[in-house]
Chain A
């Protein structure tokens, strides 16, 4: 664990140098990658570690974002308390959604998470008096953590980098803890885990809430970065991009989702500059990844490494 913490701080330090060499376009791309990375990490807690495939994580990203937007603009709260209340609200909703979704497992769980997140999406569109519907909520501001402004591309990038580093380390601790062992156990043999004495439902529920928490953190980063929030943040496309990052990079690993999220973000940005057909491309990438590389890139590389070693 110490090694992971050390390595990740090192890598983060390297990435911190980006604004020195690159212009705003790449710095902003970096920020977007980090938001996607935290989102993918939150997704991976469910998909890769708990074995619970959800298609509704966008619900927590969008919910935290909207709560922050509403609390700062309509309720006149400062960013500090708004952030706290947004995360709290997201956790409560995650607890509620978890109670419902965990009545089923496998595909039923997936369908319920999708239905629940679509309901939030529909709510964001319809409840115009609160969310401004299809127009979204604009002209939002960024917080000033410790009094430091993060309005420039570079300063926001460093802020996002620190948040991503902290989230990575905390999630790594969680996954390697004794509780984390029980989580992966329920993924692999849930019946046996029950017989051994583990409360499988409670383990899953806690993990679901924790994943919702990090989804909310990603949502706050998202709304601070964009200074704008729109119902698309709650859409199934957002969840699809998240889960694509996880499976492209390799679920069940710590680093895989980050790499996958980076790839998806790159792809999205480049496609948007040339074509308008991101959705279609997303669909095709899904097909290719699932059919050709179902384990994702990181396990694929591990396999290549093992094959290489075996040859020697």
Chain B
């Protein structure tokens, strides 16, 4: 556990409106290094919007974002990746016609300076590393198949593999369990649980039961605002949490 006071991720008063509709209202989150934080909330609560603000996909209307103490609010998305941020997507956005190995290779190449080399092909050691990462998620046997040909659950694993390949300091998982069978959920859960503490995890899920096992602390959102925040126990037993999920 590190002794300094720097948060892995800190958002301060993030606000975002879409054409008059407030999607994010004054969201301030503090995630400590190594933490496993869950962003919970019913559909439309604004969870993916917050992710998009954190990654830089969209600019906030107001508020600031700090990554390990550095203000990244005005930093473009690709530079946040170089500061150690990785994310997966709710909808599979892999490269469908390329092989699994090529997909992960692209993830690895992204942070190397050799990506600017207009003469030499991507070096062999990157390809080897990609295969190694695939074997970590149990997909090495499919390394040469195109993404379009593998099962949905396997695609989800590739998504996570691509993000993990970059050895991120902050990993954002957007509904990693969506659309999976219960066997597949178990396998993804154990994969996420095995991620080392050097990587801080911020995860979105709207299905309470399955995600609770992975989270140590929870931020509950509703209509873009934080309703409750705290440890798993605290949030589960909180009256307002029940209202959000059962009351409406």
Q: Answer whether A and B touch in the complex at a CB cut-off of 8 Å.
A: yes
Where the two chains meet, the residues of A that have a C-beta atom closer than 8 Å to any C-beta of B are 1, 173-174, 176-182, 185, 188-189, 191-200
Q: Is the CB of B118 within 8 A of A179?
A: yes
Contact assessment for B119 and A182 in the assembled complex, using a CB-CB cutoff below 8 Å = no
| In the bound complex, CA of A312 to CA of B51 (Å) | 50
Smallest Cβ-Cβ distance to B118: which chain A residue? A179
* B107 located at the interface, meaning its Cβ lies under 8 Å from any Cβ of chain A in the complex: yes
Contact indicator A188/B97 (Cβ below 8 Å):
yes
CA distance A162 to B142 in the complex (A): 42
Which residues in B have their C-beta under 8 angstroms from that of A191? 57, 93
The smallest beta-carbon distance between B99 and chain A, in angstroms, is 12
B97 A197 Cβ-Cβ under 8 A: no
Q: Give the distance to chain B from A144, nearest Cβ to Cβ, in Å.
A: 31
CB-CB under 8 A for A195 and B55, given A182-B115, A188-B95: yes
Say whether, besides A189-B93, A192-B89, A178 and B114 are in contact (CB < 8 Å): yes
B78 touches A194 (CB 8 A): yes
B120 within 8 A of A: yes
Instruction: Given A188-B97, A195-B55, A197-B166, verify A179-B78 contact (CB < 8 Å).
Output: no
CB of B121 within 8 Å of the partner chain: yes
Check if A177 sits within 8 Å of B117, measured CB to CB. yes
Apart from A192-B89, A196-B166, 16 more pairs, CB < 8 Å: A1-B121, A173-B118, A173-B119, A176-B121, A177-B118, A178-B115, A178-B121, A181-B115, A189-B95, A193-B106, A195-B55, A195-B57, A196-B86, A196-B107, A197-B82, A197-B110
Task: Point out the residue from A179, A189, A194, A195 that lies within 8 Å of B117, measured CB to CB.
Answer: A179
Q: Please, could you name 17 A-B residue pairs with CB atoms under 8 Å apart, sorted by A?
A: A174-B119, A177-B117, A177-B119, A178-B109, A179-B116, A180-B118, A181-B105, A181-B121, A181-B122, A188-B97, A192-B94, A194-B77, A195-B77, A195-B86, A196-B110, A197-B82, A198-B110
Contact B95 A185 (CB under 8 A): yes
Are A196 and B81 in contact, CB atoms less than 8 angstroms apart?
A: yes
User: How far apart sit A180 and B121, CA to CA, in the bound complex (Å)?
Assistant: 8
A199 to B107, CA, bound (A): 13
Contacts of B81 in A (CB 8 A): 194-197
**Is residue B225 within 8 Å, beta carbon to beta carbon, of the partner chain?**
no
CB-based contact B94/A189 at 8 Å: yes
Q: How many A-B residue pairs have CB under 8 A?
A: 88
Which residues of chain A are within 8 angstroms of B215 by Cβ–Cβ distance?
none
| Smallest CB separation, B108 vs chain A (Å) | 9
Give the complex CA separation of A195 and B89 in angstroms: 10
Cα distance, A196 to B79, chains bound together (Å): 9
Tell me the complex Cα distance, A197–B162, Å: 12
Cβ < 8 Å to A, chain B residues 101-141: 102, 105-107, 109-111, 114-123
Residue of A nearest to B126 (CB): A178
CA distance in complex: A191, B82 (Å):
15
Residues of A within 8 A of B119 (CB): 173-174, 177
B87 at the interface (CB under 8 A from A): yes
Chain A nearest CB from B122 CB (Å) reads 4
Q: Which 9 A-B pairs have the closest CB atoms?
A: A197-B81, A197-B110, A196-B110, A194-B77, A178-B122, A179-B118, A192-B93, A178-B117, A188-B95
A173 to B87: give the CA distance in the assembly, Å.
Answer: 32
- A251 to B55 CA separation, bound complex (whole angstroms): 33
Residues of B within 8 A of A197 (CB): 78-79, 81-82, 110-111, 166
Please tell me which one of the listed residues A1, A176, A185, A200 contacts residue B78 in the complex, with CB atoms under 8 A apart. Answer: A200
Give Cα A192–Cα B87 distance, bound, in whole angstroms: 9
Cβ of B168 to closest chain A Cβ, rounded Å: 10
- The answer to whether B87 touches A195, judged by C-beta atoms less than 8 angstroms apart, is yes
Report yes or no: B78 in contact with A198, Cβ–Cβ below 8 A. yes
A182 to B108, CA, bound (A): 11
Find chain B residues with CB under 8 A from A179 CB: 115-118
Closest to B108 in A: A196
- Chain B proximity of A102: nearest CB distance (Å): 14
Chain B positions within 8 Å of A194 at CB level: 57, 76-78, 81
**Which of A1, A176, A193, A197 has the largest count of B CB atoms less than 10 A from its CB?**
A197
Closest to B165 in A: A196
* A105 to B: closest C-beta gap in Å: 15
Nearest Cβ on chain A to B199's Cβ, whole angstroms = 16
Contact B78–A181 (Cβ < 8 Å): no
Nearest Cβ in chain A — how far from B240, in angstroms? 33
A162 nearest CB across to chain B (Å)? 21
> Does B109 lie within 8 Å of A181, measured CB to CB?
yes
A35 to B231, CA, bound (A): 69
Which residues of chain A are within 8 angstroms of B107 by Cβ–Cβ distance? 196
